[in-house]
Amino acid sequence: MDMNTISDFDPGDVRLPGGHFIGGSPVAGGQWDIEVNRPSDGLLLGAVPDGDADLVDRAVQNAHQALQDSGWDRRPPRERARILRRWADLIDEHSLTLGRLEAVSSTRPIHDCILHEVPFTAEAIRFFAECADKYSGDLLPTRGGSLGLLAPEPYGVVGAITPWNFPLSMASWKCGPALAAGNAVVLKPSELTPFSTLYLAELAIQAGLPAGVLNIVNGYGASTGSALVRHPLVRKVSFTGSTATGAVVMSEAAHHGMKPATLELGGKSPQLVFEDAGDIREVASRIAKGFTSNAGQACVAGTRLIVQRRIAAALVEAVAEAVAELRPGLTWQAATRYAPLINGRQADKVHEAVQASIAAGARVLTGGDFFEGTGGGFFYRPTILTEVDANTPAVRDEIFGPVLTVQVFDDEDEGIALAGHPVYGLAAGVHTQDLGRALRATRALAAGTVWVNRYGRTHDFIVPTGGFNGSGVGKDLGRQAFEANLRHKSVLIDFD
């Protein structure tokens, strides 16, 4: 959709899908006591039910049976690919509906939903559709008179749990590779942003996906999510969220079936800027977008600026000027470019982290509080903190808000050392025109993704994403994500 066709809309006019989605149809189940509020103004949008263990069992049993009845795992890979490509086409065709569902309940402005989130979701599904027949097993060398094979096969039912910050694209990361590989999926979206995912599942059925091969269950993580991870028919788990919750998911997966888990978790990502980084304003724009996109509510947000002393003052001033232009707006207004925080709880967490950092000696260069006059919305000013060290809360902890800390270094080794983190290793940015320095930094940084002279993902789906250390296990995107949804069976055949 062209940018010029994006217009304001009335959130009251958006039809909200309801309940869960099991066996190809909406399903009621559980108490409808999960209220979904609009982050832009704090008003009640609607409600979804909290699925209990019995509801999760129903969804998983249905998916397991649908897999057997439909033969989805045994269908020719090109047939699976055709259905997934049709699903992607429908996502594009329904971009306005999906975009509005996403914008009204999440932190994503309609402009970003239409131009970025929905197209990204469709292309991710297409990428994994094309993986369906591009991966094979191995013929293994054995003794004469025998044949050794390594045969890939789907797990069966994959349990997926997605976060609230990018509901649609995160669903595509989970569903795309699992379905292309021949699995069924039971997915629990965040209780804060459930509606676009429910509609996404409706489109999958319209595209020809067998009913039950993709089921959606709503509910809280501690109840519904835990029941999904622990279910004996769930053979693999894929989760995106906080490191603390990821540890619980990993433990429950291990203790209930020893099932593998792909975990894309938290981050505290550095932006390492050397004095030869190039045009200061261009670099400043990258830094600003890296920590203010989606109001900093991204696991890969580049929230630690580590800059060489000679250019530090000029760069920090340029970043401050760049973020000073940002203005809050309702997510259903086409002109809005700056997102709200998801809810009051998250807003309090961000502000408390800033205040704790100030108490520890940090100085506020800009921001440090909420925008005024935004009604009931949760809009936090882009904040830059200087005079910090490794023990400052805003340096140490993942805040999930638009807060940038600034640390200064003199030589390369010092800069690389400051860029390290004792817990997280999700992503990092390196800014330099010296290729040798860029490669040295890339090798030295303990991060699952390193961007050089840029920051953030694009539609390069072949490039996997995933963290080191406390930032996760395994990869989303890339062929690695597809392969992670297959298990391998060793076969040895004697024929003499």
- Rounded Cα gap, residues 303 and 128, in angstroms: 31
Q: Residue written as tokens 């906080």?
A: 242
Q: What would the two tokens of residue 496 be? A: 């003499």
- Rounded Cα gap, residues 425 and 429, in angstroms: 12
Q: What would the two tokens of residue 329 be? A: 């707006």
Catalytic option among 113, 131, 175, 299:
299
Number of H helices, E strands in the chain: 16, 22
- Rounded Cα gap, residues 203 and 430, in angstroms: 40
Looking at the DSSP assignment, which residues form a beta bridge with residue 430?
A: 272, 452
CA dihedral in degrees (174, 180, 204, 208; nearest 10)?
-170
- Can 252 be counted among the known catalytic residues? no
Q: Are 168 and 102 in contact (CB under 8 A)?
A: yes
Q: What would the two tokens of residue 369 be? A: 């509080």
Q: Which residues contact 471 (CB under 8 A, 6 or more apart)?
A: 243, 264, 265, 266, 267, 299, 424, 425, 426, 447, 448
Q: Which of 440, 450, 454 is nearest to 411 (CA)?
A: 440
- Rounded Cα gap, residues 112 and 130, in angstroms: 26
Q: Are 430 and 283 in contact (CB under 8 A)?
A: no
Amino acid at 193: T
- Rounded Cα gap, residues 137 and 70, in angstroms: 24
Kindly report the length of the chain.
496
Q: What would the two tokens of residue 3 be? A: 């940018």
- Rounded Cα gap, residues 429 and 271, in angstroms: 5
Catalytic option among 79, 264, 282, 483:
264
- Can 175 be counted among the known catalytic residues? no
Q: Which of 386, 352, 347 is nearest to 366 (CA)?
A: 386
- Rounded Cα gap, residues 72 and 82, in angstroms: 13
The b-or-e profile of 167-199 (16+ CB within 10 A means b, else e) is: bbbbbbbbbbbbbbbbbbbbbbbbbbbbbbbbb
The catalytic residues are 264, 299
